[in-house]
Structure 1
Amino acid sequence: MVTLWLGCTVFAAVCTLALLLARAAERRTGLSLHQPLHNHSEYVRYMRDKHDLNAFGFAQQLPRHMGWPSAAGMAASSLPLIGGAVFLLGPAAAAGGPAVIGIGWPLLGLFGLLTASSAAAFASTVPTAGGCYHWAMASGSRRAGLWSGWLHAAGSSLLLATTNLYLADWMSRTVERHFGYTGGAGLFYIILLMLIITQAAAHIRAIRLLGRLMAWTAAAQLAAAAGMIAILASIAWPGIYPFAILAHASPAWTASAPPDGGSSSALLGFLLLQRLFIGICDGAQAGEETRNPRIALPWSIYLSTAGLAIFGFVLFAFIILHARIGAFGLTAMPALGDWLTDIWARWGQPCEALFFAMIVFLAWANGASALGAGARTLFAMARDESLPFAGKLSGVSALYRSPVMALVITAAGAGTIALLAAAACGAATGGSSLQSQTPQLVLLSIAAMHAAYAIPIGGRLWRTLKESKDSKDSKDSKDSRLRTAGRKRSKTHGPWELGKYAGTVDGVTVCWLAISAISAVCLLKPAALLLAAVCLTVGAVAIERMHRSLRRKSPFKVVGSMRFGKRSMDECIRIERKFPQ
């Protein structure tokens, strides 16, 4: 019980810290020179955002169609609250016991909030489609940008493949159990392919409609969470709510203990829930499609993460506490997703169909968010000529206003990973092996995404510490003061920042990202570890070759500002004439 109360204390600290950091960011935003221009026309606000992008050396090719609601929906869709309850909560609790919620989730929420704060500050400073790729270039070097960009693209593909695998498996099993259609492996593969195709088609041909749909995802997640709590409360009422269950760390409580057990199982359960937080920065890739991105993007990233940490604890704890109560009690934790679906059947088939459609939509939106983030990273790297076939990958359709080739390549890569994983796990035999092997893809995505985030945040922390050390060691000479002032002037800052707390937050975030990435690698099975090592070696060779070729080109930084592209303002305007807003 002591550890459970410690977890509750950490959760209370998360709620308090969320308010304190938000207040600090709001105060710094008010002191900045950034003007929201609320009293001006939409054209004036658009021109401000366009010229801001032109200052980085990029033309406004993508449509600036997303406001604050769409940006918040994009960030919320990358954090799968309801999908996590259906797909990941059961396997996580089966591996580590209910303590992964009572103790683990508050810790995840704490570090997730700190990571979101560091990412939000970067999104306010460099609001481009490159995301952490450009963040790493701004805080470090071109080589750091290449590593961060490639890791993020690989992690996004793994996220998309994993999400679609979980969703296709759950949909095929639900259709077979509730509708009596036994399609077998053929049904699974058809659903998997349709998910990937529809996600890519929505990004290519209906990007504006997708932005509007994303605006509804946050409300849909809250409605689904409230519906789950209401249904569970009605089933168990009146009943006893054994809060002490959340202190059980033994998987034996779940009646389905994994064969290995031990601390590795608890760590696996902890990292499976970590999957819900690794989409924190996905919304940042929409920087060139969001109005007033220096304010809208950071707040959407920060508030979505804070909402996930707070509401996720309430929802998941409520589900775990009710899982063994009443005639509809659960007997095996891995079947938690099926149990959540079955309890809606007592309210009638229309209610069950509505829940099924809502889960499909929210999980599909999560996959679409991962696809968009990975494709825009490839698009940004190709636009900087940092990829092979850059001319093709950086192309934007004048008709659909989307990076078509980057989307197709990302969807094809993720689809290939999903199909190979399904075939290797034996989806044709019912998919039992699929549910046990898919966590390996989750661990790979955690390692790749956390490494991609750690590179730019670590670079900014190193620069901050170096500037602090130089300022302390320097004497009061005029030349020394001028050098220090010049370095500070050349470093850009966004309007959303944490001020004096920024260094501490970045330091804790880098340590957390490194530890969680290493832990994920340590839990990989030999086959997955060997495959990851081969891919990393090939990627390292390709990155070094590309970096050598890029060193002979013009630098990407200009003194006094941050500039990534080589195009002048006139060149940007000529390009933008083909893409009228």
Structure 2
Amino acid sequence: MILLWMGCAVFAAVCGLSLFLARVAEGNMKRSLHQSLYEHTAYVRYMRDKHDLNGLGFPQQLTRHMGGLSSFGLSFSSLPLIGGAVFLLGPAIASGGPAVIGFGWPVLGLFGLLTACSVAAFASAVPTAGGCYHWALASGGRRSGLWSGWLHLAGSGAMLITMNLWLADWMCRNIERRLGYTGGTGLFYVVLVMLFVTQAAVNARAFRSLGRLHFWTAGVQLLLFVAILAILAAVAWPGEYPFQILTYTAMEWNPLQGAAGSDAWWFLGLMLLQRMFLGIGEGAQSGEETRDPRITVPWSIYLSSAALAIFGFILFAFIAVHAKTGAEGLTALPGIGDWLVVVWERWGAACSVLFFVLVALLAWANGASTMGSASRTLFAMARDESVPAAGKLAAVSEQYRSPVNSLLTVTIGTGGIALLLAIAASPASLQALIVQLILISIAAMHAAYAIPISGKLREAYSTVRGIRGQPRSRKRNKLNGPWALGKYGTGIDTVTACWLGGSGLLAVVLLNPIALIAVAACLLGGAVVIERTQRSLRRKTPVKIVGSMRFSRRTIDECIRIERKFPQ
């Protein structure tokens, strides 16, 4: 019980810290020289954002259409609150017991909030479509940028494959249960392919509408949050709410699980829940498509992460308290997700079908945002000539204003891998395969974010050599935007870098031998490719000019000539 009260204390600290850090960021934003120009016309604001991007060496090819609400919707949709309850909560509790919620989730929420602060500060300083690729390039040089960019692509790809595999499996199970249609593997393959195709189509042809869709999906997530609490309370009323369940380990939750009560399995449950925070930085890739991105994007990242940490604890604790009586302990991996659908039949079959459709839409939107984030990272790297076939991958459709070739490359690559994995894995081993993919995505994404944060810390703590015996002096960090945490920023970055490194290493340790060998082989091959690219780009772009931050040799006049093909 002591562990549970410690978790509650950490949760209270998260709530208080989120308000305090928001206040600090707001104060620093007001003291900065940045002006949002809200009193001016939309044209004036657009020209300010365009010239800001031109100053970094990039033309305005993508359309700036997302405002504050759309940006928040994109960031919040990247964090699967409801999808996590349906797909991840069951495996996490099956591995570590409800204690992963009672104590583990507040800890994850605390470090997720601090990570969001570091990511938001970077997004404010470098608002480009490259995200952590450009952050690492600015803080650590070209080699760091290449490593961060490729790791982000790998992690985003694993996240997309994981979500679509899980969604396709869950949809097929519910379709078969409701309609009695046993489509087998054929139905699964059709649903899986259609998920990738529809996500790519919407990203390629209607990203402007996708921004609005993400806003509505964020609202649907909050609505379902309230609705799930209401239906579970109605099911259990009148009755007791055994809050002490949140102290149970896997062994106490279900004594028949045997080895699942070990510490390794508890950490595995914690890592599964960590998957929900991996989308923290995905909103940063929309920096070239958001109005006033130096303010809008970081606030979206920060507020969505704080909302996930707070609402997630309330929702998951409520589900865990009620689930013990729901389906004989719900020890099977998909147990809670299926049970949540069945619970709605209490209010009629139509409510259950509606819940199924809404959850499928939210999970689909999460995959779509991940696909869009990965495609823009690849587009940014191709624009800097940092990937093979850069000329084609950097092309932007004049009709749809999206990097179609990069999007198709991401779709075909991830969709092909997902289909091969689905064919190779048996239905019984699919869940175990998905767990390994989650661990790989955690390790890759955490490394991708740790690289630029570590580079920023090196610059912040770098010293100037002087006369022996004199105290060392600190250099002023140049990676500061209007959204910053001032004197708290370096300490938060230090804690974040340690957390990302430690949790990423833990994810690697939890991999099975086959997955570990595959990861090692990919890292070895990636190291060779990155070193060859590094040597070939020594005299090419991207470059960092002393005194200002630039990632391209293009002049403003060259950027304007390119922009004539993409009138806003």
Q: Does structure 1 residue 405 correspond to structure 2 residue 405?
A: yes
CA distance in 1, matches of 2:285, 2:26: 22
CA distance in 2, matches of 1:233, 1:471: 67
Encode CA deviations 1:548-580: one digit per residue, 9 max, x unaligned.
011122561112110001110000000000001
- Does the CA contact (< 8 Å) of 1:492 and 1:561 recur in 2? no
Q: Does structure 1 residue 114 correspond to structure 2 residue 111?
A: no
- Aligned in 2, Cα 1:323/1:381: closer, same or farther, shift over 3 Å? same
1:98-109 aligned within 5 A: 98-109=98-109
- Does the CA contact (< 8 Å) of 1:254 and 1:333 recur in 2? no
So what's the TM-score if we normalise by structure 2? Answer: 0.97
Tell me what 2:499 maps to. 512
1:90-489 aligned within 5 A: 90-254=90-254, 257=257, 259-325=259-325, 330-332=329-331, 334=333, 335-426=335-426, 431-467=427-463, 488=476
CA distance in 2, matches of 1:66, 1:254: 48
Letter of the aligned partner of 2:406 in structure 1? A
- Aligned in 2, Cα 1:554/1:440: closer, same or farther, shift over 3 Å? closer
Letter of the aligned partner of 1:108 in structure 2? L
Tell me what 1:2 maps to. 2
The one of 548, 558, 565 equivalent to 1:571 is 558
> Structure 1: which 5+ runs fail to align?
none
1:462 Cα shift?
Answer: 1.2
Tell me what 2:519 maps to. 532
CA distance in 2, matches of 1:555, 1:516: 31
- Does the CA contact (< 8 Å) of 2:384 and 2:541 recur in 1? no
- Does the CA contact (< 8 Å) of 1:158 and 1:445 recur in 2? yes
- Does the CA contact (< 8 Å) of 2:90 and 2:330 recur in 1? no
- 3-state secondary structure, aligned to 2:429: helix
CA distance in 2, matches of 1:227, 1:40: 41
Encode CA deviations 1:177-196: one digit per residue, 9 max, x unaligned.
11211111111110000000
1:324 Cα shift?
Answer: 2.4
- Does the CA contact (< 8 Å) of 2:460 and 2:490 recur in 1? yes
Q: Does structure 1 residue 493 correspond to structure 2 residue 492?
A: no
Alignment RMSD:
1.8
- Aligned in 2, Cα 1:473/1:209: closer, same or farther, shift over 3 Å? farther
- Does the CA contact (< 8 Å) of 2:18 and 2:306 recur in 1? yes
- 3-state secondary structure, aligned to 2:187: helix
Letter of the aligned partner of 1:566 in structure 2? R
- 3-state secondary structure, aligned to 1:432: coil
- Does the CA contact (< 8 Å) of 1:95 and 1:251 recur in 2? no
- Does the CA contact (< 8 Å) of 2:152 and 2:444 recur in 1? yes
- Aligned in 2, Cα 1:331/1:495: closer, same or farther, shift over 3 Å? closer
Moved more, 347-356 or 55-64: 347-356
- 3-state secondary structure, aligned to 1:127: coil
1:470 Cα shift?
Answer: 6.5
- Does the CA contact (< 8 Å) of 1:95 and 1:266 recur in 2? yes
CA distance in 2, matches of 1:366, 1:524: 25
Moved more, 331-340 or 272-281: 331-340
Moved more, 73-82 or 344-353: 344-353
1:257 Cα shift?
Answer: 2.2
So what's the TM-score if we normalise by structure 1? Answer: 0.95
Moved more, 442-451 or 246-255: 246-255
Encode CA deviations 1:427-485: one digit per residue, 9 max, x unaligned.
xxxx2221122100000000000000000001101111115x76998969xxx99xx7x
- 3-state secondary structure, aligned to 2:409: helix
CA distance in 2, matches of 1:171, 1:239: 32
Letter of the aligned partner of 2:432 in structure 1? S
Letter of the aligned partner of 2:550 in structure 1? R
Letter of the aligned partner of 2:331 in structure 1? A
CA distance in 1, matches of 2:44, 2:236: 56
1:220 Cα shift?
Answer: 0.7
CA distance in 1, matches of 2:76, 2:209: 17
CA distance in 2, matches of 1:364, 1:127: 26
1:207 Cα shift?
Answer: 1.1
- 3-state secondary structure, aligned to 1:216: helix
- Does the CA contact (< 8 Å) of 1:255 and 1:332 recur in 2? no
- Aligned in 2, Cα 1:240/1:527: closer, same or farther, shift over 3 Å? same
1:332 Cα shift?
Answer: 3.1
Letter of the aligned partner of 1:439 in structure 2? V
CA distance in 2, matches of 1:434, 1:471: 60
Tell me what 1:562 maps to. 549
1:109 Cα shift?
Answer: 0.1
> Structure 2: which 5+ runs fail to align?
none
CA distance in 2, matches of 1:210, 1:64: 13
Encode CA deviations 1:482-540: one digit per residue, 9 max, x unaligned.
xx7xx63x824200000000111000000000011110001111111111111110000
1:256 Cα shift?
Answer: 6.2
Moved more, 49-58 or 340-349: 340-349
The one of 514, 528, 551 equivalent to 1:541 is 528
CA distance in 2, matches of 1:105, 1:470: 44
Tell me what 1:35 maps to. 35
CA distance in 2, matches of 1:230, 1:555: 53
- Does the CA contact (< 8 Å) of 1:93 and 1:333 recur in 2? no
- Aligned in 2, Cα 1:171/1:555: closer, same or farther, shift over 3 Å? closer
CA distance in 1, matches of 2:402, 2:131: 17
